[in-house]
Every structure is written in C-alpha cells, then in structure tokens.
Amino acid sequence: MIGGTELMNSRLSGSEEALATLAAERIGPRTAARVLIGGLGMGFTLRAALASLPPKASITVSELVPGVVEWAKGPMADLFGEALSDPRVAIAVEDVAEMIGRARGAYDAILLDVDNGPGGLTRSGNDRLYGSAGLAISLRALTPGGILGVWSQGPDPAFTLRLGRAGFKVEELRVKAGRGRGTKHVLWFATKAARQT
C-alpha cells in the first residue's frame, strides 16, 4: 500500500493474467516470440505468458527491485510454482526503461505492469516509460506487428492519445480484476505497424 493505493493483491489477478494472454493472441503464431515483461510482481503476468506462448518463446522479466525477486524465490515460491525455473524465462534485475532503450526491433511484445499504470505512483522516473519519448522508444524496440501491452488501475485518456500520436494502433479494454463482479482495470494493446512507412 502507498497512500491508500494497493500495489499488489494475490486475489485480484485476472487483469494481470489478461495482459499476457491477450497480448499472446494479438502477436499471433510466432513460434519463437520474444517477450519483455516490465515488473515481476506476484508473477501472474509471467505465468499467464508461459501458459499462452509456444515452447520456443523466450520471456525476459525486468524487475527493478532485487527484494521482489528474492521474495518470489522465498516466501512467495509456492505462488510462483515452476515459473522462475522455466527455461524460457530470464530475470533481469534492472530498470525496464533501460532495457527497452537498448533494444532495436528486439521484442514481439513488451508488457508493462509498472507503477499502477501510466501515472508514476511509486517512482516518478517511471513517467518516462509512458511519455511521448518513452513510447517512441518502445515503438523502436518492437518488431513489425509487435505489441506494447500496458496495465493500469484506471483509465487515462491522455495516455490513449499519446499512444496514437506515437504511431501505434490503439486498443483499450476494461478487464475484470478478479472473478465475478467488482473492480475492473484497464489494458492497452498498442500495435506497431507491420511495415513502417
């Protein structure tokens, strides 16, 4: 919790899982898909990606906070199951913005579940992921037809506009946070053109 805002909850994982499963549907039949996940959290997005992607896919999870990785291997190991030892998975303890910044056409999907969405809550530096310059860098890091998937606790019309202005085809969805009625979170799936003009 930060200022009354819940950052993680093991009972409300539906939208984090949907971030991965819906992205996998959108990138289509890429047998050796390369996926970058920003934020390890409780591993819901990672486990859903492993279940949704083919055996030759590779998934890199970038987690800024070493303690989150230690927690995943220790007290939360039962929740993570075999996800961290899956041969398709690599964990990088570093800033996802730095990883994206070094990449050129490297990823078929970049999935961001960082800081409760486009408005930096825990770290103002996260704003650079979601500003116009950061979106241009993400676009460059994707393969043609690649997907930038972004999770948010709530809507952000200005972010939707920025995605479009950056050159993405934008889809915004409201997805149930858990089972049944209740809270919905927002997912954006921003697609890079199959061929840049």
Domains and CATH numbers, the chain: 14-191 (3.40.50.150)
Q: Which residues contact 61 (CB under 8 A, 6 or more apart)?
A: 36, 37, 39, 40, 46, 89, 90, 91, 92
Give the pLDDT confidence score for residue 120 in this predicted structure. Answer: 58
DSSP-derived secondary structure letter, 192: P
Residue ranges in the chain whose pLDDT is less than 70: 1-13, 120-126, 179-181, 196-197
Give the pLDDT confidence score for residue 91 in this predicted structure. Answer: 98
Give the pLDDT confidence score for residue 1 in this predicted structure. Answer: 34
Q: Which residues contact 23 (CB under 8 A, 6 or more apart)?
A: 35, 49, 109, 111, 147, 149, 189
Give the pLDDT confidence score for residue 4 in this predicted structure. Answer: 43
Q: Which residue's structure tokens are 């030759």?
A: 56
Give the pLDDT confidence score for residue 121 in this predicted structure. Answer: 46
Give the pLDDT confidence score for residue 12 in this predicted structure. Answer: 55
Please state the three-class secondary structure of 17-49 as a single string: HHHHHHHHHHHCCCCCCEEEEECCCCCHHHHHH
What phi and psi, each to the nearest 5 degrees, are found at residue 7?
Answer: -90, -35
What phi and psi, each to the nearest 5 degrees, are found at residue 195?
Answer: -140, 125
**Which is nearest to 184 in space by CA: 3, 40, 14?**
14
Give the pLDDT confidence score for residue 177 in this predicted structure. Answer: 83
